[in-house]
Structure 1
Amino acid sequence: MRQPLENVRYWRSDDLDGPETNRVLRSAHTFPKHSHDQYAVGLMEEGANYCHGRSRRSSVVVGGQVCLFNPGEVHSGEPERGVPATYRMFYADPHWLHRVAAELGGRDAGPPDFRRLIVPDADVLRAFLRLSDLVADGAELLARQSAMVGAFSLVLARHGGVRPEAVTARDGNAAVRRVRAYLAERLAHKVSLEDLAEATGLSRFHMLRVFRDATGMTPHAYHTQLRVDRAKLLLRRGWAMADAAQETGFVDQSHFANTFRRYVGATPGQYLSR
């Protein structure tokens, strides 16, 4: 009897030129031999699945492992002994991932190539789980872009044959100063990863890496902290909460209050109470 695909949810972000993602909960569906035009990254959360590849040896992917498919690679998927599987998939356009690989390596060495079908890599797993959660939650653009480039850069560096280009300390320090200044001047504006890369002259991956290494924060987290700090000042000066939220770029008062509480440990009202 054919098993239906149940509890499947897809997410696509119109403002991202990167991957489509989905999550499948407790599925016993068996996939026939097929291929994808895109690169595919699969995260097995629970259960196990046979991955019958054609160009690479078939294997079983189990919970906590990552499965990597190159475009056009013929494969199938079958739950192990009918045990339902919970997993997430990411499908990346080849031209987009090729561009990420060129940025990462500092040169165009051709399309990236995943060498292994299944990898037990907890760092890659966490990076893609975070990306999936941010996309599903509709997080701010800079947060989603940063997680997307970070996750795919990591899997390319570890399993796609791409060696990251080195960045000098001088270039890195200058880039961090420019990012700080750029974000401080745009507290009420949406900022994209491309904006920051252009401002620093670095690739998106290298800008993210040097900023995180220097500050311990992503540019999005740093920008949010600046916006909350500014909002605190405005509230102390007597601004209404709605006006303070708008002035610091929050989409609505609920978003403002939730973010404020996460960073301050109190609601705006509690912060002003005496």
Structure 2
Amino acid sequence: MLVERHLYVDNELEIEHCKFINLPQSFPSHCHDYYVLGMIIKGKRQLTCHQQVSELVPGDLFVLNPYDPHACAQIGPIPLDYQCLHISKERMKALTGTDIIFTENVVQSLEAKKYLTLLCDAILNQENKSIKEELVYLLLNELPTMALRETLPLSHAQKKTVQRASSYINSHYQNKITLDDLAKETTQNKFTLIRHFLKATGLTPYQYLETIRVTKAKELLKKQNNLLDISFHLGYVDQSHFTNSFKKITGLTPKTYQKTHDYHT
């Protein structure tokens, strides 16, 4: 059975994506100088980390801190398929604004599993940077750490930060808006910004931007027929991106929406 080993470096995120298919080998005790966030796709493994033994099955998510001593042994005859992300200590600190330690090696959060899968797919499909960045932050926010949890309600200052970010999006939705832009506008690091924004609105900044654009699109679709002009007006790179975004949120194509609202040339 052919063993496949794939490594892809996402230069925009500064994160590595690694995938193994049909891997039969076990790994003796060792450690890395980077964080590992991985998921089992096929096969079973016994993970030993800090003398704690866990059985990993398909769908399980595991995390390792830099220099965590760990070993991995195959269970049963089915070879291993799994994918993981490698994040350097420096990159993790840049993302979160602090040094963090994951407190659990095996994570049961369904949201974390969802975001890891979406992030891996986004990296391999070379999605735009804003989408990938938001998935990174959403994933990290679901992982149990010693430095990331926040259970208190937003403070007045935090609410003001979210208001400034949302106001900026409302005023500049026709332009390309990045998390860097919003971080500069609010004088917050991106990780803090996205956590507070999500907590206050239930949306990420990118999702909020898409919502604003689709709302504006509905107004324009009732007034004019040229989809390409509307696409550019709303800040999309082309008509296809506009149509896909509109359909993703409304379930309708722009043309169908026009017909539904009795647009006439």
Q: TM-score range by the shorter chain?
A: 0.7 to 0.9
- Of 54, 59, 64 in structure 2, the residue corresponding to residue 64 of structure 1 is 59
Shift in Å, 1:176: 2.0
Q: Output the CA distance in 1 between the equivalents of 2:101 and 2:246.
A: 43
* Closer/same/farther in 2, CA of residues 163 and 256 from structure 1, 3 Å limit: closer
* Closer/same/farther in 2, CA of residues 152 and 9 from structure 1, 3 Å limit: same
Alignment match, 1:15: 12
Tell me the secondary structure at the aligned position of residue 12 of structure 1: strand
Q: Give TM-score scaled by structure 1 length.
A: 0.80
Tell me the secondary structure at the aligned position of residue 76 of structure 2: helix
The 8 Å contact of residues 47 and 71 in structure 2, kept in 1 or not, is answered as yes
Alignment match, 1:203: 189
Structure 2 residue 136 is the aligned partner of structure 1 residue 189:
no
What value does the CA root-mean-square deviation take over the aligned residues? 2.7
Larger deviation, residues 141-150 vs 215-224: 141-150
* Closer/same/farther in 2, CA of residues 28 and 187 from structure 1, 3 Å limit: same
- Of 233, 236, 247 in structure 2, the residue corresponding to residue 250 of structure 1 is 236
Alignment match, 2:116: 128
Shift in Å, 1:180: 1.4
Shift in Å, 1:198: 2.5
Alignment match, 1:162: 147
Q: Identity over aligned residues, as a percent?
A: 23
Give the number of aligned pairs: 258
* Closer/same/farther in 2, CA of residues 163 and 249 from structure 1, 3 Å limit: closer
The 8 Å contact of residues 65 and 121 in structure 1, kept in 2 or not, is answered as no
Shift in Å, 1:22: 3.3
Shift in Å, 1:85: 3.0
Tell me the secondary structure at the aligned position of residue 172 of structure 2: coil
Structure 1, unmatched stretches of 5+, are: none
Amino acid at match of 1:67: F
- Of 118, 137, 145 in structure 1, the residue corresponding to residue 106 of structure 2 is 118
Alignment match, 2:140: 152
The 8 Å contact of residues 64 and 122 in structure 1, kept in 2 or not, is answered as no
Amino acid at match of 1:12: V
Structure 2 residue 80 is the aligned partner of structure 1 residue 85:
yes
Shift in Å, 1:178: 1.0
The 8 Å contact of residues 64 and 105 in structure 2, kept in 1 or not, is answered as yes
Amino acid at match of 1:236: K
The 8 Å contact of residues 10 and 17 in structure 2, kept in 1 or not, is answered as no
Q: Output the CA distance in 1 between the equivalents of 2:174 and 2:243.
A: 16
* Closer/same/farther in 2, CA of residues 133 and 215 from structure 1, 3 Å limit: same
